Amino acid sequence: MVLTPEHERHATHDVTNQPPPLAPYDASEDTALLEGLRREGAGWAEEGIRRLGLRAGSVQAQEWAELANRHEPELRTHDRYGNRVDEVDFHPSWHHLMRVAVGEGLAGAPWADDRPGAHVARTAGGLVWGQTDAGHGCPTSMTYAAIPALRRQPELAKVYEPLLTGRAYDPELRVPAEKRGLLAGMGMTEKQGGSDVRTNTTAATPTAEPGVYTLRGHKWFTSAPMCDLFLVLAQAPDGLSCFLVPRVLPDGSRNTFRIQRLKDKLGNRSNASSEPEFDGTVAWLVGPEGQGVKTIIEMVNCTRLDCVMMSATLMRRTLVEAGHHVRHRSAFGARLVDQPLMRNVLGDLALESEAATTLALRLAGAADRAVRGNADEAAFRRIATAVGKYWVTKRGPAFTAEALECLGGNGYVEESGMPRHYREAPLLSIWEGSGNVNALDVLRALRRESRSAQALFAELASAQGADARLDAAVTRLKGRMAQTSEAGARRLVELMALTLQASLLVRHAPPAVADAFCASRLGGDWGHAFGTLPDAADLDAVLARALPDGG
Ligand SMILES: Cc1cc2nc3c(=O)[nH]c(=O)nc-3n(C[C@H](O)[C@H](O)[C@H](O)COP(=O)(O)OP(=O)(O)OC[C@H]3O[C@@H](n4cnc5c(N)ncnc54)[C@H](O)[C@@H]3O)c2cc1C
């Protein structure tokens, strides 16, 4: 259109000093991530991770994420004739996201992959693809995590594992064994108790067929109710037990899985979380009767690793967004990225993000080696996963709030995507064991599994002598181990997490990163908010590593 003087008179403003859109960007352009991938034994996956990173940052994938959250899943309880259907309808964008996630091996695939590092590769894949949308990470995570629990009942695993570990996304509701690929969810939480699952009242009654029961009761939270299979806790005659519940029975009839409502949630809005009821619901026993917690804890160990991974993903995603904004925005005569106090904020966030990513990959490496029979790594994983779940997810909400603020008012507006990331962050410290529950689980490991504590201190010892503040913190930690009171559990676990993160950075990150982390997090040279690193921190080096284009 040609502007006439008339138009010019009515033009109110030009748009200046606003950043260009971030997409497309490369979600795998993260030095700490790629170094961790190689270090933890999955260097072979780098090409695939880089490809996935470009896809995650593409305009199309970012649009899918936005649409899947804007058009939330809808529950259809009945058809037009009054028959129960219990279906959840999703926007096509959700299915696009799921198809990529399953196809790229982010669901059960590592369990069918003999290559050392397969679980690390999956975690790294989650760290990049999760930068689209966190919601669909829920069913992929539960599908991944269901396998070790399902293996407690080999004849069930034989039928379903190949379909849970495959790379085909097949969302249609059909007989599970006849589908191209399956998804699994879990039902533990009831109205009267979530952390304390011993209070579950859902009853399991044995039928004449060995191993087959019927369930009667309810669950208060069961996410991703469109999954094919669920691991569900219920009270059998010998106590709380784990069961496999299909939504469609082998003869093609529908199992009773009445979805009463979907939750209206703070965040995680692309994903559906439901309240199902069971009544004569057919279920197969998984693991021995009375050992439900012991069986399903195999699943929870894996989903806790994913909580660390997803928090680290949100950190990285929002850091990249913050870095992009401040590079393109000026205030008071200079680009924000060049302003010393903004550099301190970004640098502090960058340290936190690298520490979270490095820990997530270390935990994935431990899981990978534990699965392959390494007992020391299994002992380390036992305690370190609970420590990481407590701390990294606890840091998520404060981190995303600070990153959001880097965008000023734009960050508070939905279009920026930052509110969505911010709303997601608290969930990761609630599900799979809330903060206190994880901190108390660390105490349990210390009391009952001395090998776990030994494995943690062996890990810390490998960085001994490299940094005086770290050495002092490890000594402090050893001193506190004798006083494992419940009331002091958070303090103890926080110190464990910080020493563990510091030891990883001291061994593997550039000196500027390790030094600033140790000075602030262990040396006490730090304030209570982000952006309070000491003057001596080498912010240029920290930012050049974390945000080569944005710092
Ligand atoms: C979006 C969403 C999706 C979910 N999806 C699923 C799902 O798919 N399947 C499923 O089974 N569950 C699911 N949950 C439930 C979730 O796992 C539980 O909400 C969580 O485990 C906490 O249980 P609760 O809500 O019963 O809280 P409570 O157990 O009542 O805990 C409340 C608070 O008390 C604290 N607390 C508990 N015990 C102690 C103690 N001994 N000492 C000190 N403090 C303590 C907790 O840390 C928490 O802060 C989901 C939850 C959400 C929000």
Q: What is the pLDDT of residues 225-264, one digit of tens each?
A: 999 999 999 999 999 999 999 999 999 999 999 999 999 9
What value does the mean pLDDT take over residues 519-537? 96
State which ligand 1 atom lies nearest to the alpha carbon of 142: 8
Cα–Cα dist 83/168, whole Å:
30
pLDDT of residue 85: 95
Cα–Cα dist 357/208, whole Å:
50
What value does the mean pLDDT take over residues 91-108? 98
Pairing of strands 184-187, 229-236: parallel
Instruction: Write the DSSP symbol of residue 407.
Output: T
pLDDT of residue 3: 57
State which ligand 1 atom lies nearest to the alpha carbon of 437: 47
For ligand 1, atom 14, name the residue with the nearest CA.
221
Q: How confident is the model at residue 2 (pLDDT cuts 50, 70, 90)?
A: low
Compute the distance from residue 221 Cα to the ligand 1 centre, in Å.
9
For ligand 1, atom 11, name the residue with the nearest CA.
188
Nearest to 145 by CA among 383, 451, 431: 431
Burial of 333 (0-12, 13-18, 19+ CB in 10 A): exposed
For ligand 1, atom 25, name the residue with the nearest CA.
194
For ligand 1, atom 43, name the residue with the nearest CA.
436
* pLDDT tens by residue, 446-473: 999 999 999 999 999 999 999 999 999 9
Query: What dihedral do alpha carbons 362, 27, 301, 37 form, nearest 10°?
Result: -30
Compute the distance from residue 336 Cα to the ligand 1 centre, in Å.
40
Ligand 1 probe mutation, 141, 195, 218, 262, most atoms within 8 A of CB: 195
Helix intervals (H) in 407-467? 418-424, 427-430, 435-448, 450-461
Q: What percent of the chain stands above pLDDT 90?
A: 96
Contacts by 367-371, CB closer than 8 A, 24 or more apart: 367/119, 367/301, 367/302, 367/305, 368/40, 368/41, 368/42, 368/110, 368/116, 368/117, 368/118, 368/119, 368/120, 369/41, 369/116, 371/119, 371/148
Q: Does the pLDDT value for residue 410 go beyond 90?
A: yes
* pLDDT tens by residue, 14-31: 899 999 999 899 999 999
Compute the distance from residue 189 Cα to the ligand 1 centre, in Å.
7
Compute the distance from residue 518 Cα to the ligand 1 centre, in Å.
33
What value does the mean pLDDT take over residues 271-297? 97
State which ligand 1 atom lies nearest to the alpha carbon of 196: 29
pLDDT of residue 5: 64
What value does the mean pLDDT take over residues 401-405? 98
For ligand 1, atom 7, name the residue with the nearest CA.
222
* pLDDT tens by residue, 201-217: 999 999 999 999 999 99
Compute the distance from residue 430 Cα to the ligand 1 centre, in Å.
6
Mean model confidence pLDDT for the chain = 96
Q: Which tokens sit at 45? A: 């996956």
Q: Catalogue the E-assigned strands of 257-370.
A: 258-262, 273-286, 330-331, 334-335
pLDDT of residue 147: 98
501's CB contacts (< 8 A; 6+ apart) are: 355, 356, 358, 359, 391, 517, 521
pLDDT of residue 483: 76
Report angle CA 355, 462, 304 to the nearest 5 degrees: 45
Q: Which tokens sit at 14? A: 């030009």
Ligand 1 probe mutation, 136, 200, 221, most atoms within 8 A of CB: 221
Compute the distance from residue 58 Cα to the ligand 1 centre, in Å.
35
Q: Does the pLDDT value for residue 113 go beyond 60?
A: yes
State which ligand 1 atom lies nearest to the alpha carbon of 486: 42
pLDDT of residue 67: 98
State which ligand 1 atom lies nearest to the alpha carbon of 431: 17
What value does the mean pLDDT take over residues 297-315? 96
Compute the distance from residue 426 Cα to the ligand 1 centre, in Å.
12
State which ligand 1 atom lies nearest to the alpha carbon of 430: 20
Q: What percent of the chain stands above pLDDT 70?
A: 98
Residue positions counted in the chain: 551
Compute the distance from residue 194 Cα to the ligand 1 centre, in Å.
5
Q: How confident is the model at residue 342 (pLDDT cuts 50, 70, 90)?
A: very high
Ligand 1 probe mutation, 141, 143, 189, most atoms within 8 A of CB: 189
Q: Does the pLDDT value for residue 551 go beyond 80?
A: no
For ligand 1, atom 24, name the residue with the nearest CA.
194
For ligand 1, atom 33, name the residue with the nearest CA.
434
* pLDDT tens by residue, 145-176: 999 999 999 999 999 999 999 999 999 999 99
pLDDT of residue 13: 81
State which ligand 1 atom lies nearest to the alpha carbon of 436: 47
- Residues touching ligand 1 (Cβ under 6 Å) are 185-189, 193-196, 221-223, 265, 268, 273, 427, 430-431, 434-437, 440
For ligand 1, atom 35, name the residue with the nearest CA.
436
State which ligand 1 atom lies nearest to the alpha carbon of 223: 8
Nearest to 223 by CA among 259, 197, 198, 192: 259
